[in-house]
Every structure is written in C-alpha cells, then in structure tokens.
C-alpha cells in the first residue's frame, strides 16, 4: 500500500510538472509562482516549507507503518 501511495505521489508530481511546462510554453514565459511575500520573509517561507515537509513525512510514516 505504501508503494502504491508513493508511486501516486511521484506520478502526480510528474503530471503537474508537465502541466506547468505547458502553461509556460503557451504564455512564452516562466510561471510567476506563488511567491514568499505572504509569509513576510524568505526565512519564514523556508521554515514553513520545512515544517510542512516534516508533517507530510510523519503522516506518510504513520500511514505505512500503522497498517502492520
């Protein structure tokens, strides 16, 4: 089950990357992105990203190990 979930995340990320590339080609420029201004500083954005990643890893670990 964990392998299937991980494969889905990898496949979904690949499809999202292709979609972003198609938008960039259609507009003939790079996408703007969401930016970091809404968090105040770049350091806060990095901490927010690291915390979100840690929460995701903890959830993924519980999902995979909790089923045994």
Domain count across the chain: 2
Q: Do 42 and 28 share a domain, yes or no?
A: no
pLDDT digits (tens, 9 = 90+) for 21-59: 888 888 887 666 666 667 778 788 889 889 999 999 999
Q: If phi over 0 gives left and psi between -120 and 50 gives alpha, with beta otherwise, what is residue 29?
A: beta
Domain coverage including residue 59: 37-68
Q: What pLDDT, on the 0 to 100 scale, is given for residue 18?
A: 92
- The predicted model scores a pTM of 0.49
Q: CA-based Rg of the chain, rounded to a whole angstrom? A: 16
Q: If phi over 0 gives left and psi between -120 and 50 gives alpha, with beta otherwise, what is residue 41?
A: beta
As a whole number of angstroms, the distance between CA 54 and CA 40 comes to 21
Q: Do 43 and 26 share a domain, yes or no?
A: no
| Rounded average pLDDT over 58-64 | 87
């Amino acid at each position: 089950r964990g392998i299937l979930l991980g494969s889905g995340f990898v496949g979904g990320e690949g499809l999202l990357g292709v979609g972003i590339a198609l938008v960039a080609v259609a507009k003939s420029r790079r996408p703007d992105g969401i930016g970091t201004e809404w968090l105040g500083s770049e350091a806060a954005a990095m901490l927010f990203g690291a915390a979100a990643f840690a929460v995701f890893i903890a959830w993924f670990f519980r999902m995979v190990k909790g089923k045994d």
